Structure 1
Amino acid sequence: MRIVSPQPNKARIAPLAVLPVFFDLIDKRVIAIGGSEPATWKIELLAAAGAHVQVLAPVETWCQELIALAESGTAAGSISLVDCHWAPSDLSGAALAVADIEDDDEAAAFVDAARHEGVPCNVIDRPAFCQFQFGAIVNRSPVVIGVSTAGAAPILGQAVRRRIETLLPHTLSAWARLAQDVRGAVMAQLDAGPQRRAFWEKLAERAFGDAGPTAADARITGAGKTPAPGRVTLVGAGPGDADLLTIKAVRALQSADVILFDDLVSAEVLELARREAKRLLVGKRAARESCKQEDINAMMLNLARQGKHVVRLKSGDPMIFGRAGEEIDMLERHGIAVAVVPGVTAALALASRLNLSLTHRDHAQSVRFVTGHSRRGGLPETLNWQALSDPATTSVYYMSRRTLPEIVSRLGAQGMSLETPAVIAGNVGRADEQVWRGTVGEAVAAVTAFPLSAPTIFAVGDALKRADSGRLALVASA
């Protein structure tokens, strides 16, 4: 029978610059030639992989880092220093060979000797003399991730490694070791197919949570039949810019089964969520039909009782005017585990946007976050307007688009100067952001340029003074 390769335009995998492979070096002999600092880094890496590294180099070329490494020992493998020049016969029987050689003729001789002995070789920072490359490494052993740019852009490879590092919890190592430990029992006790898959999928999901495994995670009997207890994580999505998410927030999104998200959560934040996660919009927004809080509570409770990890994704910070207290109380009353991941709240996003300190010590000794919207729709009746009229306190009124004129009236009635600096901001941190700067007396007219449906904050206080005396008119950020 003749097998015909598919046409190039029907390839199942795109071309690879290099083939990623992983060497098992445990108890294997590896040759390293050279005692320089670059060689020392490779030697330490090889020993960490369990190799017995024999370093061949004249003693006068041994750097202090290499000597200290050999004397202190390594967590795995071993290092032995040999005061000699290398010879082709030294490579016989080695699993790998690495060299720090600058001379082209000597490097070529090293490669020829390695090929003769069938030993994969690498000349450090000399791609033309390398049969394999050391990529950037993310170490969550036994989970090991290698990043290569095929020598084209090593700094870019390091940047990719750093990005992956932020996404992978350090507890992933413990979860991977648990998987190793229970693999035999899973194979023996669980039927092939859905039951085994359910166990491994649940373990994998929990591995991207906030904690390491417990004894309960290692139990096999009944796994895949009885759902694990569900949980809810309240996550702050910040003002909209995905780069302002915390690492912990990204991890929560990556481990979610269901995401209940606010109307103000940006698409770029949702893009970081686990692809398989179900996404449900439960937003509450001025001048629009909203999901009732009672319905949101019921959804969270029902989904968690099904054993799901529910992420309640809130714009800004969950604990700042986000009704998180009500949700936490309800879930805890029903025995559902709740965790909170903070986010950047709108007032702080605005301060960074304008490069203003809300507590500049020459102008303000405190800051207040004040709700500008009560359950009945107007200003809360319990606000202390005398305290709020102090210009040495920076006050930021949330949800204040409709109530701003009354806020100004109340402040003026308490004696606050209408020349006190003020800022109005809508859709902070989003593409359609609007910012106005002026005085309290000018704010009532200025707020009419802000849509009623835009989430709007109103900041007041001497700390908001500009370095110059000019006015920043209404700005729409592109």
Structure 2
Amino acid sequence: MGPLASLPVFFDLAAKRVVMAGGGPGAAWKAELLASAGAHVDLYVPAEEIDAEMAELLAVPPDSGVVVHHDRPWATDVFAGAAIAVGDTESLAEGQAFACAARAAGVPVNVVDKPAFCDFRFGTIVNRSPVVIGISTDGAAPILGQAIRRRIETLLPPALSHWAELAVKVRGAVMERLAPGPLRRAFWERFADSAFTTRPPDAVAEAAAGGFIDDLVRSPQAGGRVTLVGAGPGEAELLTLKAVRALQAADVILFDDLVSDQILELARREARRMLVGKRATRDSCRQEDINAMMVSFAKAGKHVVRLKSGDVSVFGRAGEELDELARENIPVAIVPGITAASALAASFGVSLTHRDRAQELRFVTGHSKRGGLPEDLDWTALANDRATTVFYMGGRMAARIAERLIHHGLPATTPVAVAANLSRDDETRAAGTLAELGDIVARIGVDRPILIGVGRVFTEQARAATSDPFPAETGQTALG
């Protein structure tokens, strides 16, 4: 572990005495916080120095803990028996005196907004008690700490506190009945999956937790399961929160060739990572081998994450995997991802279903099982001028796709948009007309993952490419 600016600790203050000095807003906030932790707060401040916030706090008893006002200044005799001391002083001299007196009595001290006189600091708090998260910037950037808190708040559902209470209830049974190591981890990982829901646990959830303990006792392999996870188009920030949680709970990750290193970096460090990607131009795992690996690891009690680029349900062969897992009675969950067509629309700044230009949206595979152009497509229907069609994996078939669409009546001037390595640092984009599609893809290069969009929603992009074939775009290569 690298150096720590300070040591994060969680201090039990229930029924413990805290000495506090000051009657201003800073003292009021700290007194309320300490009382929330169950402390007995002795507040030493003359009545005339109490402001409105502190007066309101004193007028309404806190839900936990207690705040007792002593109408006198603090003095050296008040520190005996205190767990900690907190002072909100106006001057540096008084702050120093307060700190020295507390330290002389062996009491850790915090002087509000005076770091030199602090033995500890108050961090920014995310409260899902009994889950409590403290955030510290070591006093350097409190606003940054608050921004981090807001980000974390969006990740943690309010119901998490109720799940944490249930965790306390079932912990004894887990410790007594499940051996340390994989079995306990299997239980808590499954429990954590349930905890990140919007619903508080009920009697059914509690019974399910007990039932899973029974299952693990009878069969240590009962914790085995598979999660099919969509990794999105490539950029790590486009992962869903649920996908990140699955990666961080995985024992084994079977990932596609197109999954980026940045996404894999988010996975649990101890997870075994195995590349099983399928690419047309190189040797790769057969689908049957991937299915067998998932089954084998899951039957060994592992949590297997099958990580696919884009969305698992769009040209990801998830159907075959689901069928195999069902035959083997292995629990499976699906975590959807952002499909490449959505990333294409975002990259070109268009709506795929512009109400004046497209009344249909279609996703079409650009090659068959044999590697050529699918022969069973309804090309007449695809040649609809009022639709947007996105071809996946169609780079090598681009010229033939254009030829078929034009042959079946789609105008050669229909706008097209092409992108390779969507949402990555080396993303390449191009736009033009259907007649130019083969040449556009050839310039981009067919050895990268390519997506082709066809339809009038790309009109402005095609027009811009015609007037400026090589527009400059920061961080990307654009080909017109």
Q: Do both proteins adopt the same fold according to a TM-score greater than 0.5, normalized to the shorter chain?
A: yes
- State TM-score, norm by structure 2: 0.83
Could you report, residue by residue, the CA deviation over 1:115-150 in whole angstroms, capped at 9, with x for unpaired residues? 344332212222122221112334454454433332
Could you report, residue by residue, the CA deviation over 1:426-452 in whole angstroms, capped at 9, with x for unpaired residues? 221234322111111211222122433
| 1:202 and 2:182 correspond | no
Residue pair 2:216, 2:222 contacting (<8 A) in 1 also: no
Q: Show the counterpart of 1:325.
A: 319
How far is 1:315 from its partner? Answer: 0.3
Letter in 2 for 1:197: G
Q: How does 1:261-272 map to 2 (within 5 A)?
A: 261-272=255-266
Could you report, residue by residue, the CA deviation over 1:238-285 in whole angstroms, capped at 9, with x for unpaired residues? 111111111111110010111111111111111111111111211111
* Matched position secondary structure for 2:295: helix
Could you report, residue by residue, the CA deviation over 1:5-43 in whole angstroms, capped at 9, with x for unpaired residues? xxxxxxxx7554333333210111223444544434333
For 1:395 and 1:260, the matched residues in 2 are separated by: 30
Q: Show the counterpart of 2:250.
A: 256
* Matched position secondary structure for 1:368: strand
134, 146, 153: which one aligns with 2:122: 134
Letter in 1 for 2:118: C
For 1:237 and 1:142, the matched residues in 2 are separated by: 32
| 1:42 and 2:42 correspond | no
The 10-residue stretch of structure 1 (24-33 or 136-145) with the greater mean CA deviation from structure 2 = 136-145
| 1:374 and 2:368 correspond | yes
Q: Show the counterpart of 1:148.
A: 136
**1:188/1:345 CA distance change after superposition, 3 Å:** closer
For 1:439 and 1:65, the matched residues in 2 are separated by: 70
For 1:472 and 1:343, the matched residues in 2 are separated by: 33
**1:420/1:471 CA distance change after superposition, 3 Å:** farther
* Matched position secondary structure for 1:196: coil
Q: Show the counterpart of 2:433.
A: 439
For 1:226 and 1:372, the matched residues in 2 are separated by: 44
How far is 1:112 from its partner? Answer: 3.4
Q: How does 1:4-403 map to 2 (within 5 A)?
A: 15-56=3-44, 58=47, 61-64=50-53, 67=56, 71=60, 73-74=62-63, 76-80=64-68, 86-139=74-127, 141-158=129-146, 180-181=168-169, 195-211=179-195, 214-215=206-207, 217-218=209-210, 219=213, 223=217, 226-403=220-397
Structure 2: any 5+ residue segments left out of the alignment? 196-200
Q: Show the counterpart of 1:7.
A: none
Residue pair 2:28, 2:57 contacting (<8 A) in 1 also: no
For 1:79 and 1:333, the matched residues in 2 are separated by: 63
Residue pair 1:261, 1:282 contacting (<8 A) in 2 also: yes
For 1:409 and 1:373, the matched residues in 2 are separated by: 15
Could you report, residue by residue, the CA deviation over 1:355-412 in whole angstroms, capped at 9, with x for unpaired residues? 2222334433442222222334333344343443333322211111122222212222
**1:202/1:306 CA distance change after superposition, 3 Å:** same
Residue pair 1:427, 1:455 contacting (<8 A) in 2 also: yes
Could you report, residue by residue, the CA deviation over 1:203-253 in whole angstroms, capped at 9, with x for unpaired residues? 443354344774454547974973323111111111111111111111100
For 1:66 and 1:379, the matched residues in 2 are separated by: 77
Q: Please report the RMSD computed on the Cα atoms of aligned residues, expressed in angstroms.
A: 3.4
For 2:176 and 2:418, the matched residues in 1 are separated by: 65
**1:352/1:114 CA distance change after superposition, 3 Å:** same
* Matched position secondary structure for 2:193: coil
Structure 1: any 5+ residue segments left out of the alignment? 1-12
Could you report, residue by residue, the CA deviation over 1:91-135 in whole angstroms, capped at 9, with x for unpaired residues? 443322223333223323332342344332212222122221112
Residue pair 2:257, 2:277 contacting (<8 A) in 1 also: yes
For 2:242 and 2:170, the matched residues in 1 are separated by: 28
- State TM-score, norm by structure 1: 0.84
* Matched position secondary structure for 1:465: helix
The 10-residue stretch of structure 1 (135-144 or 454-463) with the greater mean CA deviation from structure 2 = 135-144
Letter in 1 for 2:180: R
| 1:416 and 2:405 correspond | no
* Matched position secondary structure for 1:227: helix
Residue pair 2:413, 2:433 contacting (<8 A) in 1 also: yes
For 2:176 and 2:345, the matched residues in 1 are separated by: 59
Letter in 2 for 1:95: A
Letter in 2 for 1:118: G
For 1:350 and 1:274, the matched residues in 2 are separated by: 30
How far is 1:164 from its partner? Answer: 6.1
Letter in 1 for 2:120: F
* Matched position secondary structure for 1:27: coil
Residue pair 2:362, 2:390 contacting (<8 A) in 1 also: yes
For 1:293 and 1:160, the matched residues in 2 are separated by: 42
* Matched position secondary structure for 2:288: helix
The 10-residue stretch of structure 1 (155-164 or 386-395) with the greater mean CA deviation from structure 2 = 155-164
How many residue pairs align between the two structures? 461
**1:261/1:214 CA distance change after superposition, 3 Å:** farther
**1:101/1:400 CA distance change after superposition, 3 Å:** same
Could you report, residue by residue, the CA deviation over 1:139-181 in whole angstroms, capped at 9, with x for unpaired residues? 4544544333322333444455566667777777667656655
For 1:293 and 1:339, the matched residues in 2 are separated by: 19
* Matched position secondary structure for 1:240: coil
Q: Show the counterpart of 2:198.
A: none
